[in-house]
Chains A and B, each alone.
Chain A
Amino acid sequence: MSALVGVVRGYCTAVTAFNHLLARLAALVMFVVVPVILFEVVSRYFFDAPTNWAMESATLVFGPYFLTAGPWLLHIHGHVNIDILHKSVGRRLQLVFDAFGQLVIMGFSWVLIELSWPLAVNSWELGETSFSSWNPEIWWTKFFLPGALALLFLQAVAEFLRAAIQLCGGDDPMNGAGRPRAGVA
């Protein structure tokens, strides 16, 4: 039994740590995007030389940026919910709600992975470009959707296991890590 708990603990910790790492890396994207946009503004206004790549590259990385952080947000309760009923019911019912919610998220991810994967592959096979004057390859951005959803699925499994184990009377396998704050600043 304790071996099983160990495996679950290892899984939850590993998935969460990986998703946290990805979110931290994705956060760095804005530190590139801001200078790129400023470059475009200066280049266009002061040198009459707009680029065809600056704003397009910024929008190109926008999707991957927010998708990548989604799974980690699930762990830190950063996806906004209505906590009115949740707050006022007992601990067991809270856990039931949590476990149910993670099952919904797993189903949601699964369906969308199945639907988005073929579209991403098709885009890759055709070498999809943006058809602008810069015309960069854009197929790779589409893989971030099934990718982020797969990681969301794994994170939902981890969160489900945590709720289920507590429902069965066990301790939170991620105990000690504390519940990080979802708020900012």
Chain B
Amino acid sequence: MTGIASEGVLIWMFAGLVGLMLTGLPLAFVLGGLAILFTVLLWDPAALTITVLQIFDTMRSDSLMSIPLYVMMASVLQRSGIIESLYKAMELWFNRLPGGLAIGTVIICTIMAAMTGIVGAAVAAMGILALPSMLKRGYDQRLALGTICAGGTLGILIPPSVVTIVYAVTAQVSIGQMFIGGIIPGLLLAGLYVAYIIIRSLIDPSIAPRDPSPVAWGARIRSLRALILPFLIIIGVLGSIYAGIATPTEAAAVGVAGAVISAAVERRLSLAMLSGAGMDTIKVTAMILWITMGAKAFVAIFTGTGGADFLLEFIRDLDANRWLVLAAMMGVLVFLGLFLDEIGIILLCVPVFLPVIQLLDFDPLWFGILFMVSAQTAYISPPFGYTLFYLKGTLPPDIGMGTVYRGIIPFVLLQLVGLGLCAAFPELVLWLPKLMVAG
């Protein structure tokens, strides 16, 4: 290995990432290309094989298998008009509530979060499900995109969650306790989103058009029919997970079956519709998985060349007030989240942070949840948040990345508020796990 210092690696990789991304080169090849380039320049051409081995591993991932399944469920529901009916019903019921449809979307996102453990699956599914119906009703693009992106990422905190499992295994804390600990912070964030949507819509009603004319109760009641099928699918998916009938990945297939049956009930099932859903599915899945391949290679090379070493050394040697150390750790997490994926960050940071946490006598479970909230923030923070890209992949070509960025910024700030609340009031995190242990 050449003598380049860790700071140098970090700066060059970051600069390369930004520079190549700006040319409009697809992200998958920005990451993969840089991984190759930096392996040759900073490591050893022999190490290039790491890139291929990371891909072989991605090819056989059990958990990522849920991505095509949830995307297909979403596409079938969207194409069969079931979601459109659902939004019509929400329109009738929430017509006086500021930002009613965005709030409804946050609720659907929270339910999706409880169904899947994979971030990409929820965001891509919600992009397909919710966006067309919101835009059709004149909702501001930025509000709609921000809501979907932030809401779709709630799945990190709300169980099941693959990122949480990786953290729990790496930090040697109970998976179950981590899962339970994430529930209240997840709901808290969902609440913050809702509060923000209401306030924004009151200040600027044009971003979330309402029709305050009275709606007959008969029409409202009749519209509830649109809830039946989605409700049954939710019961089917969540029920099969929580009754021990299926693993989360398998439950996604139950969701697809539910969507197809629902389409049949609505008499909208056709070969053309299924074929369209199949193409949606492979497009979105391939988009996400090619990025994943590039990202894994990039993180491996970043680790192998010691890109984060000086940041980690800094934390290890930091001799300051325990809260300052904690803030520094969160800062490093959010910074690395600017360009690394969360699983890579966990593998890099947790082994270094955990002894520090223990030394400073912080609760490892509580820290784990703070870690997850900052991970979630990293997933949606511009310029480089994976869910932003996943969402972009489901958008019509006339909506650019700039719109996605502008849409998400308020939600990133809300995340920081949520992070601050969880840090200031540890009971938000620890109350439920304690209750479960006691009970």
**A→B interface (CB under 8 Å):** 23-24, 26-28, 30-31, 33-34, 37-38, 40-41, 45, 55, 58-60, 62-67, 69-70, 73-74, 76-87, 94, 97-98, 100-101, 104-105, 107-108, 111-112, 115-116, 119, 141-142, 144-145, 179, 181-185
Q: How many A-B residue pairs lie within 8 Å, measured between CB atoms? A: 212
Does B136 sit at the interface, judged by CB under 8 A?
Answer: no
CA distance A73 to B290 in the complex (A): 10
Taking the nearest CB of chain A, how far is it from the CB of B283, in angstroms? 5
B338 at interface, CB cutoff 8 A = no
Tell me if A's interface is mostly helix, strand, loop or mixed. helix
Cβ 8 A contact of B21, one of A60, A82, A116: A82
B-side interface residues, number (CB < 8 Å): 74
Q: Contacts A38-B254, A70-B286, A79-B290: A145 and B56 contacting too (C-beta < 8 A)?
A: yes
Taking A66-B285, A79-B287, A82-B27 as given, write out 17 further A-B residue pairs in contact, using a Cβ cutoff of 8 Å, ordered by the A residue number: A23-B282, A34-B256, A37-B69, A41-B245, A41-B254, A59-B61, A66-B290, A77-B397, A81-B401, A82-B401, A84-B405, A101-B24, A105-B29, A105-B33, A107-B33, A183-B397, A185-B280
Instruction: Give me 19 A-to-B residue pairs in the complex whose CB atoms sit less than 8 angstroms apart, sorted by A's number.
Output: A27-B281, A31-B278, A33-B69, A58-B65, A59-B61, A59-B65, A67-B59, A67-B286, A70-B290, A74-B26, A81-B27, A86-B24, A100-B23, A101-B26, A104-B29, A108-B29, A115-B48, A116-B52, A179-B397
Kindly state whether residue B112 has any CB partner on chain A within 8 Å.
no
Residues of A within 8 A of B155 (CB): none
Find chain B residues with CB under 8 A from A69 CB: 282-283, 285-286
> B residues within 8 Å of A by Cβ?
20-29, 32-33, 36, 48-49, 51-53, 55-56, 58-62, 64-65, 68-69, 72, 75, 78-79, 128, 132, 240, 244-246, 249-250, 253-254, 256-257, 274-276, 278-287, 289-291, 383, 389-390, 392-397, 400-402, 405
From B60, B257, B285, contact of A34 by CB (8 A): B257
* B50 CB to nearest A CB, Å: 9
Residues of B within 8 A of A30 (CB): 68-69, 72, 278, 281-282
Residues of A within 8 Å of B250, CB to CB, are 37, 40-41, 55
Pairs A-B, 9 closest by C-beta atoms: A63-B59, A79-B26, A86-B24, A69-B286, A37-B253, A66-B289, A184-B280, A183-B396, A27-B278
